[in-house]
Amino acid sequence: MTTDRITAPTRTTADAPAPRRSARLAAGAAGLTVVLWASAFVGIRSAGHDLSPGALALLRLLVASILLGGMVLVRREPLPARRDLPRIVIIGVIWFGAYNVMLNAAEQRVDAGTASMLVNVSPILIALIAGVVLREGLPKSLLLGMLVSFSGVLVIGFGSSRGGGADFLGVVLCFASAVAYASAVIIQKPVLTRVSALQMTFLACAVGTVACLPFAPQLMHEIPKAHTSALAWAIYLGAAPTAVAFTTWAYALARTSAGRLGVTTYLVPPISILLGWLMLSETPTWVAVGGGLLCLGGVAVARFSGRSVPASPKRSSGAAAD
């Protein structure tokens, strides 16, 4: 009797910090993902001068697959169950393959502000689909945060666009990229309960690389003519925004709801503007700065409102099942 009374509180005390630590790690992983994905817009814009959309996607994925494959071998990650392979293949084709090619092509037709605005329809799609398909629900704080952040993205898009900078095909490619991105996240979420973030990212990236192999002759033709800076950017895109950022994204997605995590990507446009200013000397307008502040405010509302909700035991166990 005495032992039971002593050990029960001790376990509660010891286990209490675990959810908070997991939440901090997930938030850190999401933050790193957002920064690296924001830098990808700068890299794609620069490398796209010398490399065509398909060739750039293939080189980026080749670099990422080599790095991720090495990490998987070192860690001796187990292979996923056969039932998960079809979903991983779909993720690889539509997110790592089609998304990258379409986004590269879009940024050659659409100015950065408009591309940012259109691609960032994806968090809304993620939240809406996840609310129904994954039964995550649509909390008022999430809806309000999405509305505020999306208004910020619109402001950034209009403030950054230049007259005549977009064409119809470019707009369609941006929206198609957003749909591919949102669909892949919804497919990915349940699989991450059984497959590690690293293994998931490696296998999907490898599938995307295979899907882009038809662009290999184009890549071999363009590499000798490309500037060193373009090749350096392509290698960076494979190493950081792909190998690292997609893994940290999967890590965070396994530990939080798809809808709430998706909202954090509204930070990408303002960070992209900041990086463009620092690295490409592209001075942002005050309108774009105001839009960036709206994005930050919306993410704060969506991420930090109503944190006490998951406190009940039933909700905690349900979250762990995610």
| Maximum average pLDDT range among 55-64, 128-137, 294-303 | 55-64
Residue 319: pLDDT over 50 = no
Residue 240 falls inside a structural domain: yes
**Residue 239 covered by a domain:** yes
Angle at 121 between CA 88 and CA 39, to 5 degrees: 75
Mean pLDDT, residues 160-184 taken together = 73
Digit-coded pLDDT (tens) for 225-257: 999 999 999 999 999 999 999 999 999 988 887
Q: Does any domain span residue 25?
A: no
Using only C-alpha atoms, the chain has a radius of gyration, in whole angstroms, of 21
Domain that holds residue 68: 32-321
Please check whether residue 71 is in contact with residue 202, taking contact to mean a CB–CB distance below 8 angstroms: yes
| pLDDT class of 6 with cuts at 50, 70, 90 | very low
| Measured distance CA(151)–CA(132) in Å, rounded | 24
Fill in the amino acid letter for 125. L
Confidence of residue 281 (pLDDT cuts 50, 70, 90): low
Answer yes or no: is 22 within a domain: no
Residue 183: pLDDT over 70: yes
User: Mean pLDDT across the stretch 26-43?
Assistant: 87
Q: How many domains does the chain have?
A: 1
| Average pLDDT over the chain, rounded to an integer | 78
216 found inside a domain:
yes
Angle, alpha carbons 34-22-85 (nearest 5°): 70
Q: 173: how many CB neighbours lie within 10 A of its CB?
A: 25
Residue 153 confidence (pLDDT): 66
Whether 299 maps to a domain, the answer reads: yes
95 and 208 Cβ atoms separated by less than 8 Å:
yes
Residue listed under structure tokens 């309960």: 193
Angle between helices 228-237 and 17-47 (to 10 degrees): 160
Give 218-227 pLDDT, tens digit per residue. Answer: 999 999 999 9
Roughly how many angstroms between the first and final C-alpha of the chain, as a whole number?
36
Q: What is the pTM of this model?
A: 0.75
- Answer whether residue 10 is part of any domain: no
**Residue 111 covered by a domain:** yes
